[in-house]
Structure 1
């Protein structure tokens, strides 16, 4: 998945002035004579030979006539030399930003093949910039602000996780770009969710390909990517364009009920809230949404999975038996673990009760 630049990059480039001097020595003429024949000032030609002034196209055409060396050679030599000088300057600047780059989970990103881990400081910073798809450190900071959005960026709990969280969100963005999706259609998406709800009874591993394929048909790219160290997010949702949305999940807590609730919670953000916002949900603590938006997304997901009226009726007669949960889940055509999760959330069950009914996820190819 790494985006690398493997073109040959020599560590030395000769200025055009070196070749000009060779030509002058061969022709046994002086720089002053060359200037006279080209109709240019002696100072300019001397500076070009010394590498202090560039060979402009007009000068290249004059050198072509006088020295019988193609103008394209002079222009290409000048371009190569200037690029070499720029690379040297950039290398020094990037090396000075190495401490900034060390804040990112480089080792983990390299293990996941999103960038290379290299010993050269400037090249390591360059790898990070390529990963974020930007040309410099300042642009990278602006990209990170765009990924995280200002309101969330000011959260005290967020500061320590900033680099890791931004990296995780960038992975989701990059993977989503690789997913071919139709133009977003809200009605199609809602119908898709009705069908996906039934998949809660299947193993998550088996459901994942269907989630991705069906969401793509509705204009939503679904990505499951394990959270990076210190990135405590459980899910995120955003609009990549007016016609394509992204739902990114981390599989945090590794239980089926949490996976599905997070999925429908992120779907709710897409359905209910502004397309200009990025919603980042943490496993605990405040995320990027307002309390009102979080409450709305939670309510929508809860109602979609288990209507509150049905849950209230069930709870009124529930005696805590496993069989009761399974029977209720069958009636709703939903996984029993989701029922257990909501009963625990509502305080009807303690958090250790009936957990064996929840699907346990592991990280392999998929969680």
Structure 2
């Protein structure tokens, strides 16, 4: 009886050696003599108790006039056939990780580190779907009819985390008039960085859910505007650039989206805002809603006619004293003025010391997720 047949369809290489010895009329002792090893070493191989090492494969090849690779392949085939079947969870975890930054989501507390069955259930709950095949970007069943080219998996995961947080927030009923009043009064908050702490409360009074969620690696997100329903606008921000000018520009940009009722429809079809470089300008290559939001943001940060007048009079010799005087006159923090002038001059190293940090003022009063502390929401 084949000593390996009860375990596998692939016989142990020792069986071939036994058959070869029988054909040649050699004993195991003869082969041991030829190989220059103890007879027990040959017996262990022919009885299937020991495998063939690379060194032994070469020796057997010379002794039996067969290629060493033949013995090596026999051993490999036998070992593979006897290897345990891998845990099915491996393939499922690979599928999830290839579609979304699952490990980072677990690290951030968005998902709990559980067995694969519960992890899949958490993913469905996170994205609000009944089947993994309905989750955007899932590698095994990405829907052909949906174009996700402008929103990456990392951005989409961040977007759904903002929704998860926003859905548990309680705010006043949305009032467009109150939001317009807030926007009109925004400049009064722009002179002192500490005034940013009032933003979450003032937005809530307007009926806007506001959350700060740290961006994910490679996500390139500044903010987003979307609606949980037609009466529930939401603004999410990352404050990935912890600077006073960036914070107010992005916030005003998203408020303009709300006022224009942008960002409605399915969440997976929304586009997050990356306002770096030209994306924060008014070039013809940008969609109309983005140009309009950027224009409103720039105007609120620094009135553009006054900025242009100052620039024409002072450029190219704009001193720090000139900038500080202009900031006092328009009642804006110098860092906000510097941010606008840097863009205009294309000199992002100019007077950067004035672009103070602001995130700590905002997160002190905002629902915040990230920087080592997850938001207290249901998984």
**TM > 0.5:** yes
- Alpha-carbon distance, 1:192 to partner: 1.2
Spell out, residue by residue over 1:146-178, the C-alpha distance to the aligned partner (whole angstroms, 9 max, x if none): xxx956x134xx5xxx22111100111111122
Root-mean-square deviation (CA, aligned residues, Å) is: 3.1
Taking structure 1 as the reference length, what is the TM-score of the superposition? 0.63
| TM superposition outliers: structure 1 runs of 4+ over 6 Å | 92-95, 362-367
Match of 2:224 among 236, 244, 259: 236
CA distances 1:276-332 after superposition (whole Å, capped 9, x unpaired): 354421244898x95222211111111122222111111122232112212211222
**Separation in structure 2 between the aligned mates of residue 95 and residue 132 of structure 1, nearest angstrom:** 22
Instruction: Report the equivalent of 1:252.
Output: 240
Alignment partner, residue 282 of structure 1: 274
Q: SS at the partner of 1:280?
A: coil
Write the distance in 1 (CA, Å) between the matches of 2:277 and 2:299.
Answer: 22
Q: Which of 102, 108, 132 in structure 2 is aligned with 1:106?
A: 102
Tell me how far apart the structure 2 counterparts of residues 243 and 260 of structure 1 sit (CA, whole Å): 24
Equivalent pair of 1:179/1:216 in contact (CA under 8 Å): no
Is 1:331–2:360 an aligned residue pair?
Answer: no
- In the alignment, is the contact (CA less than 8 A) between 1:95 and 1:125 conserved in 2? no
Distance in 1 (alpha carbons) for counterparts of 2:237 and 2:188: 19
Counterpart among 356, 362, 374 of residue 359 in structure 1: 356
Cα 1:99–1:189 shift into 2, 3 Å? same
TM-aligned CA deviation for residue 354 of structure 1: 0.6
Contact 1:98 1:122 in 2 (8 A): no
Is 1:135 paired with 2:123?
no
The reply on whether 1:201 has 2:199 as its aligned counterpart is no
Spell out the pairing of 1:336-351 with structure 2 (5 A cutoff): 336-347=334-345, 350-351=347-348
Contact 1:110–1:116 under 8 Å retained in 2: yes
**Which position in structure 2 is the counterpart of 1:175?**
165
Match of 1:271 in 2: 259
Check the 8 A contact 2:247/2:358 in 1, yes or no.
Answer: no
CA deviation vs aligned residue, 1:58-115 (integer Å, no higher than 9, x gap): xxxxxxxxxxxxxxxxxxxxxxxxxxxxxxxxxx998764322113222322233221
Deviations 1:185-235 (A, max 9, x none): 1111011123333222333xx445421111111111111111011211111
Q: Distance in 1 between matches of 2:91 and 2:338?
A: 53
Note the C-alpha offset of 1:237: 0.6
C-alpha distance in 2, partners of 1:286/1:125? Answer: 39
Q: Which has the higher helix share?
A: 1
Task: Pick closer, same or farther for the CA change 1:286–1:124 going to 2, 3 Å.
Answer: farther
**Cα distance per residue 1:33-78 (max 9 Å; x no partner):** xxxxxxxxxxxxxxxxxxxxxxxxxxxxxxxxxxxxxxxxxxxxxx
Q: Are 2:257 and 2:263, in contact at CA under 8 Å, matched by a contact in 1?
A: no
**Corresponding position: 1:214 with 2:211:** no
Q: Which moved more, 1:103-112 or 1:223-232?
A: 103-112
* RCO higher in structure (CA 8 A, sep ≥6): 2
